């Protein structure tokens, strides 16, 4: 009970504005929750950060917020609102239901040249836009790129971005980011240009897209550095000559010989099939839209022009700006504009508060004989100091017959759960939650050579195991009986493997022995095993990860039953989920653990349920 009330107090700033749903990502000092913007019914992601936990990372958070306030690009995750309280930061950002680009690669083993080109053009457009505004991202990797429901990419995580005061030609010194994507000059500790290290990371990223594994990879961090400094990597036979040349141009050890962002935008490989170079609109202020302003004006009871003047001056800290941007996004996606009826009462209250403040000032001025009313107050008084009837005369756009609103986008096809019912008097919006989006922070990756084909499918090498996909529209049935596993049902599956065994306890014991064999710590609760490759030290929780820090990864393996796959009986499956840490380490660990679980291992004593297992 104390925990619930404590949570309500901490998140009181969101009450009535956003309906929080489940957690879709977490890190060392932040968590990301799926939420609904009450007045539009649109889904958003809210990054919640405890100021006490931030410590030395606080300046990085402020830098990220300031950057996102400036950045407006179709392939950069949009910032809608920032709410700051004494104890927390709340960043309301665009929700991308498609998950990480990394998971998209895993599902397909590797991407074709055509699909890689499509994605890479979007990444290139976003990075070129960043550089044009004087920003370097410095942490480009598949885990920091999300997909929306239409599989358009969105660049996220600007906690390590830099904006040199003297421009992009100014040298930087801080070594940060993920080692497997780090340029040689970063490893050597030399001064570097932000644009040049971003180009190197993009070369590694393109290689990962088309090959399914990293160009520079090793279990030892020292060996990894040597490989990066040598600049030597394998070129698989399926890569075309033009692809090889482009990757070589980006993975040049000498940064001065590295291809530039302008040359990349016009490169023949980039323009193939599209017939035009990569371009972007250089803007840092959101556009004016009369339709959106009219929709809001009808509810707010405020002139569209006056409202626009306030929005232009907004620093993304007010709810009205978030409403405008969400409506603008709806229009850009070809959807109808709408605001729920609950917005009327909110904006009415806000409006009356403004009027009361003005009237108070006017009354004070009239009582003070030596004080003359300013022309501004006179003008405002003539507009606002109306009769109560006029003040309450708010217009509202036409709404459907149903009182509850839901977003009509196809987001509803992405792993919804039953709608969270809310008291009618509290709000008019109901929402469906979607596939969780991880918000992990990269740590050094160290995949062994034997697992270089990381994206060849986690189930590779599993004897007597058939692969099915985890339902994007997955229904998870919680069992009251802790002795029975959960049942998953649905179509369009991913991240779940079905086994030929009909005994979930036997499969669980195989997984436990495999984890023990790999020396991985785990915590068991029922049919769920939570493991981590290494203990997370305080340094590992820092956003700025020095290259000497160790790789760490935590994940979850759940033995479950799969419904609807076989007509006669349920199949036993294994569900995988990365909790936090480096994605490539997670991929390697799951690949090896599941392969070992399929082997006939000698029987060993088992730890009891709910116990801490040193395996």
Q: How many CB atoms lie within 10 A of CB 150?
A: 10
CA angle 87, 92, 98 (to 5 degrees): 130
136-140, 366-370, 468-472, 593-597, range with the lowest pLDDT? 468-472
Both tokens assigned to 193: 């240009």
Note the pTM of the prediction, 2 decimals.
0.67
CA–CA separation, 300 vs 296, rounded Å? 6
Mean pLDDT computed over 33-55: 91
More confident residue, 94 or 385: 94
Beta-bridged to residue 553, according to DSSP, are 581
Give the pLDDT band of residue 568 (cuts 50, 70, 90): low
pLDDT (tens digit, 9 = 90+) per residue, 435-466?
A: 334 444 444 444 444 334 433 333 343 333 33
pLDDT at position 9: 59
- The token duo for 271 is 């323009």
Residue scoring higher pLDDT (553 or 76): 76
Task: Give the residue among 588, 258, 347 at the shortest CA–CA distance from 454.
Answer: 588
**Dist. CA 244–CA 248, nearest whole Å:** 6
Instruction: Give pLDDT, residue 352.
Output: 56
What positions carry a catalytic annotation? 139
Dihedral angle over CA of 30, 83, 58, 440, nearest 10: 30
Given a contact cutoff of 8 angstroms between Cβ atoms, the answer to whether 549 and 475 are in contact is: no
Model pLDDT, residue 237: 94
What is the three-state SS of 341-386?
CHHHHHHHHHHHHHHHHHHHHHHHHHHCCCCCCCHHHHHHHHHHCC
| pLDDT tens sequence across 1-21 | 444 445 555 688 999 899 999
Tokens encoding 205? 């990223």
The pLDDT value given to residue 93: 95
Average pLDDT over every residue of 586-611: 60
Number of Cβ atoms within 10 Å of the Cβ of 125: 21
Return the pLDDT at 555.
84
Q: Using one digit for the tens of pLDDT, what is the confidence trace for 210-261?
A: 999 999 998 788 899 999 999 999 999 999 999 999 999 999 999 999 999 9
Read off the pLDDT band of 349 (50, 70, 90). Answer: low
**Per-residue pLDDT reduced to its tens digit, 235-247:** 999 999 999 999 9
- Condensed to tens digits (0 to 9), the pLDDT of residues 259-277 reads 999 999 999 999 998 878 8
């Amino acid at each position: 009970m104390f925990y619930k009330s404590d949570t309500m107090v901490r998140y009181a700033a969101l009450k009535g504005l956003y309906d929080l749903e489940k957690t879709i990502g977490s890190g060392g000092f932040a968590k990301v929750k799926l939420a609904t913007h009450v007045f539009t019914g649109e889904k958003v992601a809210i990054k919640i950060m405890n100021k006490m936990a931030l410590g030395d990372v606080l300046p990085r958070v402020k830098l990220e917020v300031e950057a996102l306030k400036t950045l407006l690009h179709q392939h950069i995750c949009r910032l809608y609102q920032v709410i700051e309280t004494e104890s927390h930061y709340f960043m309301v950002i665009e929700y991308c239901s498609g998950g990480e680009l990394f998971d998209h690669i895993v599902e397909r083993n590797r991407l074709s040249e055509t699909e890689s080109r499509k994605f890479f053009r979007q990444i290139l457009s976003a990075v070129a836009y960043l550089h044009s505004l004087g920003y370097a991202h410095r942490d480009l990797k598949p885990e920091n790129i999300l997909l929306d429901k239409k599989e358009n990419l969105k660049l996220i995580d600007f906690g390590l971005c830099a904006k040199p005061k003297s421009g992009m030609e100014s040298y930087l010194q801080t070594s940060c980011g993920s080692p497997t994507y780090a340029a040689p000059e970063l490893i050597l500790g030399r001064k570097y240009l932000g644009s040049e290290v971003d180009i190197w990371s993009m070369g590694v990223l393109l290689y990962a897209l088309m090959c399914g594994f990293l160009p520079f990879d090793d279990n030892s961090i020292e060996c990894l550095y040597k490989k990066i400094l040598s600049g030597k990597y394998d070129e698989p036979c399926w890569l075309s000559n033009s692809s090889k040349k482009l990757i070589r141009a980006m993975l040049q050890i000498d940064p001065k010989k590295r291809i530039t962002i302008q040359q990349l935008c016009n490169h023949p490989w980039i323009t193939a099939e599209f017939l035009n170079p990569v371009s972007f609109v250089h803007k840092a202020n959101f556009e004016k839209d009369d339709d959106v302003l009219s929709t809001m004006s009808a509810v707010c009871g405020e002139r569209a022009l006056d409202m626009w003047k306030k929005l232009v001056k907004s620093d993304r800290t007010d709810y009205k700006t978030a409403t405008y941007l969400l409506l603008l996004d709806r229009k850009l996606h070809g959807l109808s504009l709408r605001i729920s009826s609950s917005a009327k009462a909110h904006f009415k209250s806000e409006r009356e508060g403004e009027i009361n403040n003005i009237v108070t000032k006017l009354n004070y001025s009239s009582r003070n004989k030596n004080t003359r009313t300013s022309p501004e107050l006179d003008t405002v008084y003539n507009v606002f100091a109306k009769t109560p009837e006029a003040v309450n005369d708010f217009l509202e756009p036409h709404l459907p017959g149903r009182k509850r609103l839901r977003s009509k986008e196809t987001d509803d096809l992405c792993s919804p759960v039953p709608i969270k019912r809310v008291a009618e008097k509290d709000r008019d919006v109901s929402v469906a939650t979607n596939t969780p989006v991880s918000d992990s922070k990269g740590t050094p990756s160290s995949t062994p050579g034997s697992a270089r084909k990381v994206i060849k499918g986690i189930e590779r090498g599993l004897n007597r195991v058939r692969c099915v996909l985890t339902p994007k529209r997955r229904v998870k049935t919680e069992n009251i009986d802790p002795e029975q596993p959960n049942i998953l049902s649905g179509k369009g599956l991913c991240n779940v493997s079905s086994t030929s065994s009909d005994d979930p306890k036997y499969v669980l014991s195989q997984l436990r022995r495999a984890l023990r064999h790999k020396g991985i710590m785990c915590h068991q609760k029922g049919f769920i095993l939570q493991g981590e490759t290494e203990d997370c030290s305080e340094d590992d929780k820092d956003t700025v990860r020095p290259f000497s820090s160790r790789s760490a990864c935590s994940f979850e393996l759940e033995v479950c039953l799969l419904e609807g796959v076989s007509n006669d009986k349920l199949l036993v499956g294994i569900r995988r989920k990365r909790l936090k840490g480096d994605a490539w380490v997670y991929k390697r660990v799951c690949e090896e653990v599941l392969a070992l679980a399929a082997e006939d291992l000698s029987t060993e004593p088992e730890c009891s349920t709910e116990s801490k297992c040193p395996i």
